[in-house]
Amino acid sequence: MKITSHHPFLSNEARDRYLRHNDERSRAWPVACECNTLETSYGPTFVRSSGSEGAPPLFLLPGGGTHSLMWIPNIAGLSRSYRTHALDSILDVGRSANTRPVKTVDELTSWLDEVIEMLAPRSKVRLMGLSHGGWLAANYAKRHSERIEKLVLLAPAGWVLPLRPAMLLAMMQILLPPRRFFIRRSYYYSLPDLVASGPDGRGLIEEMTEDLALAFSCFGVRRLMRMLEPTVAVDESIRSIQAFTLFVIGEKERIYSANDALDRLSRIAPHIRTAMIPGTGHDMTWLKPDLVNEIVLEFLEGDRNQRSSDDEVERRLDWQAESSK
């Protein structure tokens, strides 16, 4: 890779413009935050840490096309009980930058393992990811099960089911000009409940549109095309996840069918606990952050020694029913 002084940005001016915008956005982070850039063998990795330093570590992985600030709606509730570490992915927008190629899932999970070891050495951790971050979290748990206390997957892209063709088309269209139009259109397709929620929801869509449009102009298309494509796991791969796992999905999910995803998990991996968020889809962390936090924290704070059993399957189904009320 050719590394410039402004890497991974297109120029020094582009770097300054993006970081000013990112700094402005970060003012909405609702709790005290310690920001660090960790030097990994794959490149510098930016992390926002909140909560008591003595609390158990909880690592947060963002969805594709987003960064650590996507956790603004959830971070206050999560940081009351945990030392949260919200990462900017090394292959995506934000303040992290790979300085060597990352072309395989093994390499990407090795990068994540370095970060986890730096922030929580020799400790078991809780790991949560949304969408592409959920896919990465699941792949990390399969390869490094000894490091995971509990795993939370929020509508992981791929992994359980492939993305719907309409979703893939909406994602591909953001590469076309006029870029803001197609980015906004993609969000309107994938986050319809956030759009329908009113002016605040549509205002958030505009903010997200501006974020991603700015990222394209400051990083360039090639940078944003380096993300690894999320792949669907075979039955045995999902079944072999050893960590105590929670799978959360909105009942109106657009990237794939929520019911089909839950059906597959119940057939091949009934030990995975599930919850459905009513009235939401891929926008559940923005639209119903308190409910998402409630379900996640109840899971994280439960008996860490629980494992699959007939009673556990019954509790899992009860939880799903309660979460859908």
Say which DSSP state 190 is in.
H
Domain extent at residue 152: 12-162+222-323
Q: Is residue 310 in a domain?
A: yes
Q: What is the pLDDT of residue 318?
A: 43
First to last CA, the chain: 51
Q: What is the mean pLDDT of residues 53-80?
A: 97
Q: What is the mean pLDDT of residues 17-46?
A: 98
Q: What is the pLDDT of residue 148?
A: 97
Tokens found for residue 8: 């991974």
Q: Is residue 195 in a domain?
A: no
Q: Which spans in the chain are helix H?
A: 12-26, 72-79, 105-119, 132-143, 165-173, 179-190, 192-196, 199-219, 221-224, 235-239, 258-268, 284-287, 289-300, 310-323
Q: Is residue 183 in a domain?
A: no
Q: What is the pLDDT of residue 324?
A: 43
Higher pLDDT, 171 or 161: 161
pTM across the whole model: 0.93
Q: What is the pLDDT of residue 303?
A: 62
Q: For residues 307 and 325, what is the distance between their CA atoms, to the nearest angstrom?
A: 26
Q: How many domains does the chain contain in total?
A: 1
- Which residues, at least 6 apart from 300, have a Cβ–Cβ distance to it below 8 Å? 58, 81, 82, 126, 150, 152
Q: What is the mean pLDDT of the chain?
A: 92
Q: Is residue 217 in a domain?
A: no
Amino acid of residue 296: V
Tokens found for residue 157: 């892209």
Q: For residues 142 and 148, what is the distance between their CA atoms, to the nearest angstrom?
A: 10
SS3 of 323, please? helix
Helices (runs of H) and strands (runs of E) counted in the chain: 14, 8
Q: What is the mean pLDDT of residues 9-33?
A: 97
Q: Is residue 191 in a domain?
A: no
Q: What is the pLDDT of residue 146?
A: 93
Sign (positive or negative) of CA dihedral 55, 57, 58, 62: positive
pLDDT in tens, 264-319: 999 999 999 999 999 999 999 999 999 999 999 999 998 644 443 333 333 343 44
pLDDT in tens, 231-253: 999 999 999 998 999 999 999 99
Q: What is the mean pLDDT of residues 81-99?
A: 97
pLDDT in tens, 91-124: 999 999 999 999 999 999 999 999 999 999 988 9
Where do we find the tokens 């794939």? Answer: 256
- Whether residue 325 has pLDDT greater than 60: no
CATH of residue 255's domain is: 3.40.50.1820
Q: Is residue 254 in a domain?
A: yes
Q: Is residue 172 in a domain?
A: no
Cβ–Cβ < 8 Å for 271, 307:
yes
Q: Is residue 35 in a domain?
A: yes
- Whether residue 137 has pLDDT greater than 80: yes
Q: What is the mean pLDDT of residues 133-144?
A: 97
Q: How far from chain centre, in Å, is Cα 160?
A: 15
Strand 148-154 versus strand 244-250 pairing type: parallel
pLDDT band of 225, cuts 50, 70, 90:
confident
